Chains A and B, each alone.
Chain A
Amino acid sequence: MTSTSPRTKNTARTTSAVGDKVFFGLSWTGGAIILVVLAFVAAFLLIRSLPAIMPETFGPGADEAIDFWSYVWPLMAGTVIVSVIALLLATPIAIGISLFISHYAPRRFANPIGYLIDLLAAIPSVVYGAWGMLVLAPAMVPIYHWLHNNLGFIPLFAGDPNVTNTGRTLMTSGVVLAVMVLPIITALCREIFLQTPHLQQEAALGLGATRWEMIKMTVFPFARAGVISSIMLALGRALGETMAVTMVLSAGGFSWSLVTSGANATIPSEIALNFPEAFGQRQAELIAAGLMLFVITLVVNVIARAIVNSHAKKAEGLS
């Protein structure tokens, strides 16, 4: 940075100048480490998964390895379906709670309720897994049987040859994931709803709008981009969530039925179940599956951040 001029040079000043350089160096290194780590994540995963993705060149040869893409697509499909179920369940409720906190709840209760919902986010995923496996799954069994008996003609509830008796299905995993992503969507939506310009809201009310009309006319248009990006961030979280799905879902291949156990699997649960005992080529396959998961969540998160940033720029322009 600024170097001391020779005229005023003394020992204290010299150590100070050195301190400046050292401190700048440390801070710069801290930033650089982040970039290096991320590059390493991508590089290590790529190197380790090459034997599985291209067995002819890097692995044991085409005839000894399984076809990676036909191995990984049911896992990817399972991952996406369970995340979509989670979001379909969580989004309306999360937006409802955010509105409740920002516009409906009595002022005195709004903040404590916010803390309460944040508590949901603090509970470790393994506890959600235990709850989903031992409490929620048995409770869902009658619902699945009812769905199968009454709506069995829809492929989602077909459940042949037999409907689950443990409740450990893709649908149950989706419900647990919904509970887990609920606080993420709620926290972000609440922030945005509270930022809606007060003058607009008062103008709507002053023109005789009911509270719901006011929310529809001022809050939702203002918050649209933020709500979409919060849903995308929650999707990224749901895609990568491991333990809850691993513990709740009894793993299998792939099926459209939501009411059968042992018919689906997701990438994270497949890795968590098999990695501790895997070695050699099997390890490479699992790391390659992890790489696919990394790419999917990366794309989802980059899109979410792009929406947030463009929204932030727009908001800056407004104020």
Chain B
Amino acid sequence: MSSQIRSRANSKPQGSQQDPDGRKKPEDMTPQTHQKSRLDSLTAHRKPTWTWMAAAAGSAILSLLITLVAFESFSVIGFGVIAGVLFVGSMYVVSRVLEDRLKATDELWRHLVWTSFIVALIPLISVIWSVVSQGLPTLISNPGLLTADMAGVAGADDIATQNEGASLQGGILHGLVGTIMITLMASVISIPVGLFASIYLTEYGNRNAFSRGIRFFVDVMTGIPSIVAGLFAFAGMTLIVELTIGSSPQALQSVKTGFTAAIALSVLMIPVVVRSTEEMLQVVADELREASYALGVRKWRTIMKVVLPTAMSGIASGVTLAIARVAGETAPILVTAGYVAMTNWNPFSEWMTALPVFIYRQLINPTAPAAGDPSTARAWAGALVLIVIVMGLNLAARAIAKYFAPKTGK
């Protein structure tokens, strides 16, 4: 936007050469001399266009010398930082000398803004590169990781893998099953609650005290730390178990299940669903609702047949994003579902391992403490699968929003 404005402002002198009625201006009678003098006046206080290349090359060479002299070993990070500082600084000085303070300041901030963008790209690329470069080879050479769990895998197996080159044992199947079951349970709880709550907020609430309260507390819930959600689910289930079954150690052991983890995730998921759905429902034009009422259609049928279908693509996309968010959660599952090596399909009994928890445990407590490499390899492979799942859900959300958007028919 603003670049258009700038270019328009710059091109103004050319545009005003000709009067609206097409008559040539007096100074245009001598086009040659005019052109020359105008060029002079435009370029008099501007640095040549090749300045930045010279500054970049100079900073790179200088920085190379400094890093070679000052540090014991050459480091790419040190070279990049020094070169960047030198480039931005020298460009400021050059502009200050050849142009004026305003232009130099403008340029300085332009360079800083570009720098911040490049700086932010470094961790993004580094994270994705480390996961792909360390996870993909493991997955390709051991596709069995996806279909095996850790049952029966002992420290001796990992030591054999690391020292004698035996094939990598175990896998991430139990984590995948756990993540799918827990996320599914959380969705079954959160999506209806979230949908109905946002329908109440937009269609019935009418900004009364109750709906204002819900809105405020949804905002508060958005900020609940994920580990606190886990503690809540654990504390709640412990209370229920103590009141119904008793407080024997065996009964308390049964608190940790996939279902408890699903409750914890629901606390995190409901506010996300409510906020995105409410936003989508508010976008639905009131004319549609009024047209439906005018035909004598009941409110609930209007909501079911007119409002929801119109907003459906946005709602589905928001819900998918909410699922993606909780699928990657670790902390709440860590404190509520325990950690097992076997695949467990039943979220209502026995402990359950989710993929993020598996990654965490493999890195913190390797299966063979003396030979951690196989555990690390499994963790990176698991991280790659997890990222693929979460990114896939994110892309699916965007695709839903784009391709299933309601036809406006205009």
Query: How far apart sit A31 and B220, CA to CA, in the bound complex (Å)?
Result: 14
User: Using a CB-CB cutoff of 8 Å, which residues 87-108 of chain A contact chain B?
Assistant: 92-97, 99-100, 103-107
B186 partner residues in chain A, CB cutoff 8 A: none
Query: How far apart sit A201 and B211, CA to CA, in the bound complex (Å)?
Result: 38
Interface centre among B6, B119, B232, B394 (most CB of A within 10 A): B232
A129 near B: Cβ within 8 Å?
A: yes
Q: A30-B193, A93-B116 are in contact. Are A17 and B298 (CB under 8 A)?
A: yes
User: Using a CB-CB cutoff of 8 Å, which residues 1-39 of chain A contact chain B?
Assistant: 1, 16-17, 19-20, 22-24, 26-31, 33-35, 37-38
Query: How far apart sit A44 and B235, CA to CA, in the bound complex (Å)?
Result: 6
Q: A93-B120, A122-B324, A297-B224 are in contact. Are A23 and B300 (CB under 8 A)?
A: yes
A94 partner residues in chain B, CB cutoff 8 A: 116, 120
Minimum distance in angstroms from B122 CB to a CB of chain A: 9
B324 partner residues in chain A, CB cutoff 8 A: 122
User: Using a CB-CB cutoff of 8 Å, which residues 225-248 of chain B contact chain A?
Assistant: 225-229, 231-232, 235-236, 238-239
A151 near B: Cβ within 8 Å?
A: no
Contact A297 B225 (CB under 8 A): yes
Interface centre among A47, A97, A130, A214 (most CB of B within 10 A): A130
A160 near B: Cβ within 8 Å?
A: no
B50 near A: Cβ within 8 Å?
A: no
B376 partner residues in chain A, CB cutoff 8 A: 134
B113-129 interface mask toward A, CB cutoff 8 Å, 1 = contact, 0 = none? 11111011101101100
B194 near A: Cβ within 8 Å?
A: yes
**How many A residues touch the partner, as a band?**
35 or more
A298 near B: Cβ within 8 Å?
A: yes
User: Using a CB-CB cutoff of 8 Å, which residues 251-301 of chain A contact chain B?
Assistant: 268, 271-272, 275-276, 279, 286-287, 290, 293-294, 297-298, 300-301
Contact A242 B199 (CB under 8 A): no
Contact A31 B196 (CB under 8 A): yes
B210 partner residues in chain A, CB cutoff 8 A: 31
A130's partner among B9, B102, B379 (CB-CB below 8 A) is: B379
Contact A31 B201 (CB under 8 A): yes
- Among residues of A, the one whose C-beta sits closest to the C-beta of B229 is A41
User: Using a CB-CB cutoff of 8 Å, which residues 351-410 of chain B contact chain A?
Assistant: 356, 359-360, 363-364, 376, 379-380, 383, 386-387, 390-391, 394
Query: How far apart sit A239 and B299, CA to CA, in the bound complex (Å)?
Result: 44
Task: Give the contact stretch, choosing among B53-61, B154-162, B325-333, B341-349.
Answer: B325-333
Contact B335 A271 (CB under 8 A): yes
B102 partner residues in chain A, CB cutoff 8 A: 210, 213
Contact B114 A210 (CB under 8 A): no
Interface size on B, residues (CB 8 A): 102
B250 near A: Cβ within 8 Å?
A: no
A116-131 interface mask toward B, CB cutoff 8 Å, 1 = contact, 0 = none? 1101101111111111
Query: How far apart sit A242 and B218, CA to CA, in the bound complex (Å)?
Result: 22
A29 partner residues in chain B, CB cutoff 8 A: 196
Query: How far apart sit A279 and B123, CA to CA, in the bound complex (Å)?
Result: 39
Query: How far apart sit A290 and B231, CA to CA, in the bound complex (Å)?
Result: 7
A242's partner among B192, B270, B331 (CB-CB below 8 A) is: B331
Contact A247 B383 (CB under 8 A): no
User: Using a CB-CB cutoff of 8 Å, which residues 1-20 of chain B contact chain A?
Assistant: 1-3, 5-6, 9
B236's partner among A23, A40, A96, A294 (CB-CB below 8 A) is: A40
A239 partner residues in chain B, CB cutoff 8 A: 225
B145 near A: Cβ within 8 Å?
A: no
A31's partner among B6, B197, B226, B231 (CB-CB below 8 A) is: B197
Minimum distance in angstroms from A222 CB to a CB of chain B: 14
Minimum distance in angstroms from A34 CB to a CB of chain B: 6
- Among residues of A, the one whose C-beta sits closest to the C-beta of B125 is A116
Smallest CB-CB A-B distances: 6 pairs: A240-B225, A96-B116, A124-B328, A30-B196, A301-B223, A23-B300
Residue contacts A-B, CB under 8 angstroms, 25 given: A16-B301, A27-B196, A31-B196, A31-B201, A40-B232, A48-B231, A94-B116, A96-B113, A100-B114, A100-B116, A107-B3, A117-B124, A122-B328, A123-B328, A124-B330, A124-B356, A129-B330, A129-B363, A205-B6, A210-B105, A211-B106, A233-B223, A272-B227, A290-B228, A294-B224
Beyond A26-B196, A44-B236, 11 additional pairs, beta carbon < 8 A: A23-B299, A27-B196, A33-B197, A34-B217, A116-B124, A130-B131, A131-B131, A139-B77, A182-B120, A301-B223, A302-B220
* Residues of chain B having any CB pair with chain A under 8 Å: 1-3, 5-6, 9, 75, 77, 102-103, 105-106, 108-110, 112-117, 119-121, 123-124, 126-127, 130-131, 192-201, 203-205, 210-211, 213-214, 216-229, 231-232, 235-236, 238-239, 252, 267, 270-271, 274, 298-301, 303-304, 324, 327-331, 334-335, 338-339, 356, 359-360, 363-364, 376, 379-380, 383, 386-387, 390-391, 394
* Residues of chain A having any CB pair with chain B under 8 Å: 1, 16-17, 19-20, 22-24, 26-31, 33-35, 37-38, 40-41, 44-45, 47-48, 92-97, 99-100, 103-107, 113, 116-117, 119-120, 122-131, 133-136, 139, 142, 179, 182, 186, 198, 201-202, 205-206, 210-215, 233, 236-237, 239-243, 246-247, 268, 271-272, 275-276, 279, 286-287, 290, 293-294, 297-298, 300-302, 305
